[in-house]
Amino acid sequence: MNWDDATDERPERLVGTAADHEDQAVEAALRPKDLGEFIGQERVRQQLDLVLRAARQRQGTADHVLLSGAPGLGKTTLSMIIAAEMGAPIRITSGPAIQHAGDLAAILSSLQEGEVLFLDEIHRMSRPAEEMLYMAMEDYRVDVIVGKGPGATAIPLELPPFTLVGATTRAGLLPPPLRDRFGFTGHMEFYAPAELEKVIRRSSGLLDVEVADDGAAEIAGRSRGTPRIANRLLRRVRDYAQVRADGVITREIAAKALEVYEVDERGLDRLDRAVLQALLKLFGGGPVGLSTLAVAVGEERETVEEVAEPFLVREGLLARTPRGRVATPAAWTHLGLVPPQNHAGPGQSGLFGP
């Protein structure tokens, strides 16, 4: 299970509860500790292995690393593996937590030589802090401004060599000067079902849960190509198998359990289906504006756009067009509905006829 939990898949998810802390503890226990244990992302793993091996042979600090990709694919896990492979401590923070250049200066000035600094959601860092980071990454130096106005003085502060690991779900929002300062950039891809089955089998062994091959395949097929989701569903199916069956996860048990948790055979959950149902039943398949669609399902605009839409688009169930969101023929089929005769489909002229 290769997933990162510094950001969660659902922005509306409540944090701080006992269940959350328990889930975080389980996820931490399931994390692979080195590249050899890391499942999937074969290209990124091989490239990163070369970078780290070369740095160890030179007895130096590894180049700065940028990891991009959707939430839950393993960016935080890889950052911890980088630190472990280099035998260095790791410090974890995030872009939203660094709103002033002074915040970043305080973190950088306390780093030890060779330490790994993991900066999650790096695209959300403030511009002043971002500009300070340029010099820190390239010259291992920052200028600390003391005083205000005409009497302000810049004091140069030398930094020990360190490795910055930046993670982002929106690489396009990073300015070119920042992207160019990373020595290695790895893009994390969604997982194939066969890879997720390996993730599930490894996790089930660590959780001491018996999972049949068809049970692992059933969970993998509903995990949206994301290891974090696969592990989460595995734990929920484990609960169902423990309470309502003999504890063994088969395809039948997995299907029944995920029906209880409102995850269908393609991995769509309650919010995904609510968006599709509103789009099809209320707006005839679209086009409809995002804000209108969000109001129809009782969610924030950002929740629909950032949580539901990416998966629905990737599954070919929804399309974004200049005129608004439009359901595809596959969406009608998936919900067992018949499109109106004047529905032409996305990307075609005359969505509602002439």
48 vs 22 pLDDT, higher one: 48
Neighbouring C-beta atoms of residue 30, cutoff 10 Å: 21
Q: At what angle do helices 127-139 and 101-109 cross, to 10 degrees?
A: 30
- Asked if residues 82 and 91 have their Cβ atoms less than 8 Å apart, the reply is no
Q: What is the largest CA-CA distance in the chain?
A: 75
Query: Residue 79 has which token pair?
Result: 């950052």
Q: Which of 267, 195, 262 has the alpha carbon at shortest distance from 229? A: 267
Architecture of domain 193-260: Orthogonal Bundle (1.10)
Residue 164: the pLDDT is: 93
Residue 106: the pLDDT is: 86
- Please tell me which residue in 228, 232, 238, 325 is annotated as part of the active site: 228
Residue 105: the pLDDT is: 86
SS3 call for 33: coil
For the chain, the 3-state helix, strand and coil shares in percent, each to the nearest 5, are 50, 15, 35
| Confidence class for position 146, pLDDT limits 50, 70, 90 | low
Determine whether 256 is an active site residue.
no
Q: Using alpha carbons only, how large is the chain's radius of gyration in Å?
A: 23
| Confidence class for position 121, pLDDT limits 50, 70, 90 | very high
Q: Which of 26-30, 152-156, 242-246 has the highest mean pLDDT?
A: 242-246
Q: What is the DSSP letter of 184?
A: E
Amino acid at 179: R
- Asked if residues 142 and 108 have their Cβ atoms less than 8 Å apart, the reply is yes
Residue 129 half-sphere exposure, CB side, CA atoms within 13 Å? 21
Segments making up each domain of the chain, as ranges? 32-187, 193-260, 270-334
Residue 258: the pLDDT is: 93
Asked whether the domain spanning 193-260 has the same topology as the one spanning 32-187, the reply is no
Q: Report the distance separating Cα 196 and Cα 315, nearest Å.
A: 17
Residue 117: the pLDDT is: 94
Q: Report the distance separating Cα 258 and Cα 248, nearest Å.
A: 15
Determine whether 120 is an active site residue.
yes
pTM exceeds cut of 0.85: no
Q: Tell me the average pLDDT across 273-282.
A: 90
Is the pLDDT confidence value at 11 over 50?
Answer: no
Residue 84: the pLDDT is: 92
- Please tell me which residue in 93, 169, 226, 303 is annotated as part of the active site: 169
Question: What is the CATH number assigned to the segment(s) 32-187?
Answer: 3.40.50.300
- Please tell me which residue in 76, 163, 226, 328 is annotated as part of the active site: 76
| Confidence class for position 65, pLDDT limits 50, 70, 90 | very high
Q: Report the distance separating Cα 29 and Cα 207, nearest Å.
A: 9
Average pLDDT value over all residues in the chain: 84
- Asked if residues 302 and 292 have their Cβ atoms less than 8 Å apart, the reply is no
Residue 93 phi/psi, 5° resolution? -145, -175
H helix or E strand, kind and range, residue 185: strand 184-187
Determine whether 169 is an active site residue.
yes
Q: Tell me the average pLDDT across 89-106.
A: 88
The β-bridge partners of 318 are 327
Architecture of domain 270-334: Orthogonal Bundle (1.10)
